[in-house]
Amino acid sequence: MIELDNMAYSYGGGELLSGVSLQLQPGAFHFLTGPSGSGKTTFLRLCYGDLTATAGAVRLFGNDVRDLSRDDLAIMRRRIGVVHQDCQFLDHLPLYENIALPLTVSEQGGVEEAHLRELIQWVGLAKRARALPPELSGGERQRAALARAIIMSPDVILADEPTGNVDWEMSQRLLTLLIELNRLGKTVLIATHDLALIRAAKSQVQARVLRIANRKLQFAGADL
């Protein structure tokens, strides 16, 4: 689905990522860890074609990102749902409109009301659907960000610190949602600092743990 082949990336200074290879297979569940500033967000951006590798290749669903036109890249990106670290809502739009936004702006056009309602209910925000983003708690924002990431029914979900600003109970709730999505066949990759979350997940799902260290991507051992 997403394939990185000896990929490197630099923002212009020295290389941030180097010799990175990975195949994200259908239905896989991965965590991505690494110190702050090691390149986790950058890695995710490379995985959905928001950045282009400075060396090596990134293939999305078999297509080398460098060979894709802007329109074709946009089509590939619809198959990847991204939960951004800072959620990135439009503050003047109610929650349900923010969640529907990817559909509204895509060429797929209108939002199917029943699907939207079902999704908002699934993340437990039915009562908050008309609230504005600044009125939401951290946990509500994170659940809304997850709902927005999956409104287009993507095959892959990339989540950047999806439990960053919430307490343990809420992080468990978010993890449960992501595991449910994986059980429905979605490929899931979660960047997180939260090793307790990874340990909790490992008893519920077969998860592989990746770690960025010294510019390289490694598989972490079982010592978490």
Binding site for ligand ATP (CB under 6 A): 11, 16, 34, 36-42
Q: Give the residue with the Cβ less far from ligand ATP, 14 or 62.
A: 14
User: CA–CA distance from 142 to each of 69, 82, 88 (Å)?
Assistant: 32, 12, 10
Q: What minimum distance in Å lies between the beta carbon of 57 and ligand ATP?
A: 20
DSSP states along 91-105 = TTS-HHHHHHHHHHH
Q: What minimum distance in Å lies between the beta carbon of 109 and ligand ATP?
A: 33
Tokens representing 127 are 């009562």
Q: What minimum distance in Å lies between the beta carbon of 7 and ligand ATP?
A: 14
Q: Give the residue with the Cβ less far from ligand ATP, 39 or 162.
A: 39
Q: Where are the alpha helices (DSSP H) in 78-161?
A: 95-105, 113-122, 138-150
Q: With contact defined as beta carbons under 8 Å apart, do 32 and 40 qualify?
A: yes
Residue 2's closest CA among 19, 27, 36? 27
Q: What minimum distance in Å lies between the beta carbon of 92 and ligand ATP?
A: 26
Q: Give the residue with the Cβ less far from ligand ATP, 80 or 125.
A: 80
Q: With contact defined as beta carbons under 8 Å apart, do 70 and 50 qualify?
A: no
Q: Give the residue with the Cβ less far from ligand ATP, 36 or 214.
A: 36
